[in-house]
Amino acid sequence: YFHQQKYGDALKEFLRVVYNYDAPPHQAAALLEAGKVAEQLQKWQDAADFYTKLIGQFPDDPHATQAAERLAAARGRLRPGD
């Protein structure tokens, strides 16, 4: 869905993995992708929240490094009141 720019559908599928499965590597990857979807939708706070959750829940996962980088960028895009 992501590559088809069906971002709402993509987000639903990524979050389904996060909340319905006990598979940490897949959950971490899904949180990273959910953050990317939020970025595409310019929902910077949501993106930051997904990246923060990934880093907090899966700090040793390889995706955590990219999440930290993207978190900094998303926070840089936040406006007061977002």
Dihedral of CA atoms 21, 10, 63, 42 in degrees, nearest 10, equals: -130
d(CA 8, CA 81): 23
Quick one: pLDDT at residue 81? 60
Question: pLDDT digits over 44-71, tens only?
Answer: 999 999 999 999 999 999 999 999 999 9
Question: pLDDT digits over 2-56, tens only?
Answer: 656 678 899 999 999 999 999 999 999 999 999 999 999 999 999 999 999 999 9
Model pTM? 0.88
Tokens at residue 37, please?
A: 């979807």
Q: Look over the chain and give the mean of its residue pLDDT values, rounded to a whole number.
A: 91
Task: Answer yes or no: is pLDDT of 1 > 80.
Answer: no
Quick one: pLDDT at residue 4? 62
